A and B are shown apart, each in its own frame.
Chain A
Amino acid sequence: EDQVTQSPEALRLQEGESSSLNCSYTVSGLRGLFWYRQDPGKGPEFLFTLYSAGEEKEKERLKATLTKKESFLHITAPKPEDSATYLCAVQAVSGGGADGLTFGKGTHLIIQP
């Protein structure tokens, strides 16, 4: 069974204080690892897709990295508007064509001014 574990569950940072969010996963075969941002009462907003170990992607203050066991979402000099829940999800290799995502519970990030 595919599993995704995110840590920490919650993180409070001061504005400008860089940190990293962790996503550990176990999957029979990884097709892709996804990072999403979710604001309260909203649907997830796509951030990144990573396909293979060693891959990195960046977008503004966010950088996602991937190893064979985990992914990190690094946030550099965050601003209050970066406050949100960050979700990690995996898509497993599936011969049946079912491509739904398995999500972690998310990290609730609060950036204080």
Chain B
Amino acid sequence: GAVVSQHPSWVICKSGTSVKIECRSLDFQATTMFWYRQFPKQSLMLMATSNEGSKATYEQGVEKDKFLINHASLTLSTLTVTSAHPEDSSFYICSARDRGGKRGVINEQFFGPGTRLTVL
């Protein structure tokens, strides 16, 4: 099956610092990647959709200047949490959709293992 990796798997940082999380599709090309956030005992909430070579599309209520997304290639998207604060502590999960699927046909999203961010 399709494999998606994330790095780092966990990170602890001080309030006010910036943190970068990488999402890579290892054995397929992903035109589109998605970033989700999951708080304890809550569902995954879509933050933004990342398209290769273009600007990300953010969901309502997600600050685009705080959560910077770059999708520089078909296998890599990065999420940078700028000036992180304790309320940004969460489990960040990316997913990737296989570019090889037929147009108009839903392609399964394959999820990474997640990154646990703790802001002190």
Binding site for B on A (CB under 8 A): 4, 31-32, 34, 36, 41-46, 49, 51, 87, 89, 91, 96, 98-106
CB interface residues, B 2-50, toward A, < 8 Å: 4, 6, 32, 34, 36, 41-46, 49
Please count how many residues in chain B sit with their CB below 8 Å of the partner chain's CB atoms.
28
Query: Given A98-B57, A101-B109 in contact, is the A87-B114 Cβ separation under 8 Å?
Result: no
Q: Which of B1, B42, B106 is the one whose CB lies under 8 Å from A91?
A: B106
Binding site for A on B (CB under 8 A): 1, 4, 6, 32, 34, 36, 41-46, 49, 57, 59, 91, 93, 95, 97, 106, 108-114, 116
The answer to whether A45 touches B111 (Cβ under 8 A) is yes
**Residue numbers in B under 8 Å from A31 (CB-CB):** 106
The answer to whether A99 touches B112 (Cβ under 8 A) is no
The answer to whether A43 touches B108 (Cβ under 8 A) is no
Query: Given A34-B108, A49-B108 in contact, is the A99-B114 Cβ separation under 8 Å?
Result: no
The answer to whether A100 touches B106 (Cβ under 8 A) is no
Top 4 closest pairs, chain A to chain B, by CB: A100-B46, A43-B111, A103-B43, A32-B106
Tell me how far the C-beta of B89 lies from the nearest C-beta in chain A, rounded to whole angstroms: 14
**Residue numbers in B under 8 Å from A49 (CB-CB):** 106, 108
Q: How far is the CA of A51 from the CA of B113 in the complex (A)?
A: 26
Tell me how far the C-beta of A103 lies from the nearest C-beta in chain B, rounded to whole angstroms: 4
The answer to whether B43 touches A105 (Cβ under 8 A) is yes
Tell me how far the C-beta of A28 lies from the nearest C-beta in chain B, rounded to whole angstroms: 16
Q: Which of A32, A102, A106 is the one whose CB lies under 8 Å from B46?
A: A102
The answer to whether A99 touches B32 (Cβ under 8 A) is yes
The answer to whether A46 touches B111 (Cβ under 8 A) is yes
Q: How far is the CA of A51 from the CA of B43 in the complex (A)?
A: 22
Tell me how far the C-beta of A57 lies from the nearest C-beta in chain B, rounded to whole angstroms: 12
Question: Please, which residue of chain B has its CB at the minimum distance from the CB of A43?
Answer: B111
